[in-house]
Amino acid sequence: MKGFGRVLLLWLVRLFFRPASEPPPAIDVGRIAKLLVVRTDTRVGNVLLTTPLVRALKRGLPHARVDFLVAAGKQRLVEGLADRTVVFAKTDFFRAPWRFVGFLRALRHERYDAVVEAGHWHAFSFTSLWLARAVGAPVRIGHARGLSERFLTHGVKKDPTLVREVPSKLELLRPLGLEPDGERLDTTIDTADPDAAQAVEKVQALVQGKRYAALNPGARKADHRWPAEAFGSLARRLHLSSDLVPLVLWGPGEEAIAQAVVEASGGTAVLAPPTRLGALAALFRGCAVVVTNDTGPMHLAVATGAPVVATLLAEDGARWSHAGRFEGVAVADGSEASVERVCAAAMRLLERGPTRGSDEPAG
């Protein structure tokens, strides 16, 4: 929301939502029987970036039920990671208000003892903050930003020394006195997808049973896309240096980009079949290394435990990087020098061996 709409929203918040007049109550974690994590963002990466927080809450509160509220359509990404996945359909507010009211009544009926609002620390999100307040829990934790004090009981000030998103998200454990359970991202989307096994079989036939490097040249944001010619050059280098088969992955609307990479590879890369997220996760699990743009599938690849090289074109690329077998390479263009740096990062990950996971220190 920008411009006049945002100004109006903030004015209405100041008018109708008053900050608490008393200090926040002390939190007795032993009395928390039900806790809800709220993440209303519809983007794949932002859902997955919240999973280390959910895991830490489950470990730190073994006596409590930890539920995870996610946007409709994203529940398959995290099904089974929390005690219960709550599906939030924001469009019901306009299209089916009676269903939206029923949803809120059901949430309030749960009588949650605490809510952790896990929206972005840098941006005021009315939907996320309002929903956290509407649940009716006496304890509401979230990052302090904008007018969040009107919705939260315990605002957490962002530590400016933290660069990456996952450690910043784990700051929300602080009011509860809990410790992180590592930074590993988790996903279950491929475990229940009937298309995943079929996609793996098709790819194994394409690469003739050889090891493959998964290349993901697409991205939702055009300015996050490394040029197709650079991916093609990288495919040639990887094939010559490691004998890997470069496999070019693509999603809806990205086939032309993927085909351009194959053509630029000089015949070394093969085009993957069309894949949905579940199949994509399964292919990431089976690859030797992933090279991807900074986009949702980058986080999905990390969540599967695959070693990942990310091309970071945006200024805030370091924020979305990860610990462990992850190398973020800042690139400004598709020059051969940039291709060489990305290839060198991939080779370093390949040399580190088959151990997977992203809880180890960054290399």
Reference 93, options 117, 114, 71; nearest CA is 71
298 and 325 in a single domain? The answer is: yes
Which distant-in-sequence residues (6+ apart) come within 8 Å of 41 by Cβ? Answer: 47, 71, 119, 120, 128
Domain boundary among 115, 149, 176: 176
Parent domain of 293: 194-351
Calpha distance 269→264 (Å, rounded): 9
User: What ranges make up the beta strands (E) of 3-60?
Assistant: 34-39
CATH classification at residue 154: 3.40.50.2000
Per-residue pLDDT at 362 exceeds 60: no
Chain segment 269-315, per-residue pLDDT in tens: 999 998 899 999 999 999 999 999 999 999 999 999 999 999 999 99
The rounded distance, in Å, linking the Cα atoms of 119 and 143 is 8
119 & 199 share domain: no
pTM for the structure as a whole: 0.92
The 10s digit of each residue's pLDDT in 170-197 is 999 999 999 999 999 999 999 878 889 9
Residue 9 resides in a domain: no
User: Is 5 a member of any domain?
Assistant: no
The arithmetic mean of pLDDT across residues 70-93, rounded, is 96
| 169 and 86 inside one domain | yes
Lowest mean per-residue pLDDT among 23-27, 91-95, 303-307: 23-27
Clarify whether residues 202 and 163 are in a common domain.
Answer: no
* 282 and 215 part of one domain: yes
Give the domain-ending residue among 176, 205, 226: 176
Residue 6, in any domain of the structure? no
Q: Residue 355: its pLDDT value, please?
A: 52
Beta partners for residue 156, in sequence order: 143
Q: Both 172 and 207 in a single domain? A: no
Per-residue pLDDT at 358 exceeds 50: no
| Number of structural domains found in the chain | 2
Q: pLDDT digits over 196-226, tens only?
A: 999 999 999 999 999 999 999 999 988 999 9
Asked if residue 344 and residue 303 are part of one domain, the reply reads yes
Closest CA to 110 of 147, 148, 73, 137: 137
Domain shared by 57 and 120, yes or no: yes
Tokens 């291709």 correspond to 339
